[in-house]
Amino acid sequence: MIALSQKWTAQLSNQPETGMGYQIVSVIKTNGTRYDQVIVDSGYITRVRGFNEIPFTGDEIHEIILTHDKWDFRDE
Considering the entire predicted model, what is its pTM? 0.90
- Which pLDDT tens digits describe the chain residue by residue (76 residues)? 999 999 999 999 999 999 999 999 999 999 999 999 999 999 999 999 999 999 999 999 999 999 999 877 666 6
Q: Where are the beta strands (DSSP E) in 4-73?
A: 22-29, 34-41, 44-48, 61-66
- Nearest-angstrom CA–CA distance, 40 and 44: 5
Domain ranges of the chain: 2-75
Q: Are 25 and 66 in contact (CB under 8 A)?
A: yes
Helix (H, G, I), strand (E, B) or coil at 5: coil
Given this model, what pLDDT does residue 76 score? 63
Given this model, what pLDDT does residue 22 score? 94
Given this model, what pLDDT does residue 74 score? 67
Phi, psi of 51 (to 5 degrees): -125, 140
